[in-house]
Amino acid sequence: MASASGRCRLMWAAAAALVLTLDAAFVEDLDDSFKDNRKDDIWLVDFYAPWCGHCKKLEPVWNEVGIEMRSSGSPVKVGKMDATSYSSIASEFGVRGYPTIKLLKGDLAYNYRGPRTKEDIIEFANRVAGPLIRPLPSQQMFEHVHKRHRVLFLYVGGESPLKEKYIEVASELIVYTYFFSASEEVLPEYVTLPELPAVVVFKDGTYFVYDEYEDGDLSSWINRERFQGYLNVDGFTLYELGDTGKLVAIAIIDDKNSSAEHTRLKSVIQEVAKDYRDHFHRNFQFGHMDGNDYINSLLMDDLTIPTVVVLNTSNQQYFLPDRRIESTEDLVQFINNILDGTVEAQGGDGFLQRIKRIIYDAKSTVMSVFKSSPLLGCFLFGLPLGVISIMCYGICTVDSFGGVEENETSKKETGDRELTDEGSEEEQEQENKEKSAEISDGEHGQKHIFDKKQD
């Protein structure tokens, strides 16, 4: 029985290894010859580093992407390159971090910035690998595409300078969204255009027409309008919204909490996003965020939910209401106060805030290490502190011994000086005796001479 179970485990291990090998077979390992051989094909490449934890986490997803792209008959080839071994090629493609995902199409290289899931990566590859502008020849095709895309940009009309600008913008923003074109006959009857040619965005159950005089540059307008009016916001979405230049009004709630307070605040944000679009859509993006962990780390604050916060992602400032938001009127008043400058901005990217960020991040790192692994935390932070303490103790001890030795040396020198002085007195006394003896001898001699003279 034991041998049979052992054989069974070996068979399962061999099967798993075979599956991994087959998965990896759909992803090509690229080397320095890739630079010269790639231009005839479209490549989706993962530039990775062997030691990178995020790269290791992406590897099974990347294998699934390779399988899906091959099985669907996509013209896109999937590969991976060790950017540390072929650093010159990675630098040529502008790789500055790991992992970096790029779609290489001719002389163009498109960066992928989305979530690292199989579905999102494949959708990006198919969108960028296809034509910049996809024509919609019929109303049925328009309806089909409209159902699939929550946000749909459409150029309507013939050749014109506006179309040239539309193509130029599409080449820049194809990494984010699709671009289509159609004739006026393809549009549904409810769509009315003031003039042709025109650029239209379909979203939020309606449509909006680009107006150069009111909306400014076409690229900026498309970049602002590529999001729905109301979003479920997370960290990645906030990162993308930073390119729009908009302020982001967010209801911070707990999605699992079905209390009236949480649901009401979410409804208030949704109503303002829909009913006041004409007033605020050029300056504000609306949404809600589940939980306050991310927003607390972003603001370096401790917000109590439910609440509303307005973020300026361009300079890291934020605005908080001075009282509870109970209705749409309260929120509209709060937003108008931000626009007219009567609400004080907090945070920012100044020097003091950067210092605060460094301290906050260091504190958060230490706390997370101790929370996840107390023993590891004690080792990582206790050992250096112990070494520093020993060094300080050693330095202080050396100073104390030095002081004692100096005192003893001083005492010894003082004693020597005293002994030297005493020796001098004895020598002087001896000299005095010798002098007295000499004087006595002199007197005795003089007396002897005097006696002789008398004789």
Phi-psi region of 435 (alpha: psi -120 to 50; beta: other; left: phi over 0): alpha
Instruction: Provide the Cα torsion 270, 274, 278, 281; round to 10°.
Output: 50
Q: Report the candidate in 334, 151, 182 with the shortest Cα–Cα distance to residue 244.
A: 151
Q: Which of 55, 378, 392, 396 is catalytic?
A: 55
Residues 149 and 142: their CA atoms lie apart, in Å, by 11
Q: Report the candidate in 345, 277, 276 with the shortest Cα–Cα distance to residue 309.
A: 345
Verify whether residue 52 is a known catalytic residue.
Answer: yes
Contact 152, 127 (CB under 8 A): no
Distances (CA, A) of 48 to 60, 90, 95, 391: 13, 10, 9, 42
Q: Which of 52, 378, 392, 396 is catalytic?
A: 52
Residues 199 and 226: their CA atoms lie apart, in Å, by 13
Largest Cα separation within the chain, whole Å, is: 174
For helices 2-25 and 53-71, the axis angle rounded to 10 degrees is 70
Residues 239 and 236: their CA atoms lie apart, in Å, by 5
Which residues belong to the active site? 52, 55
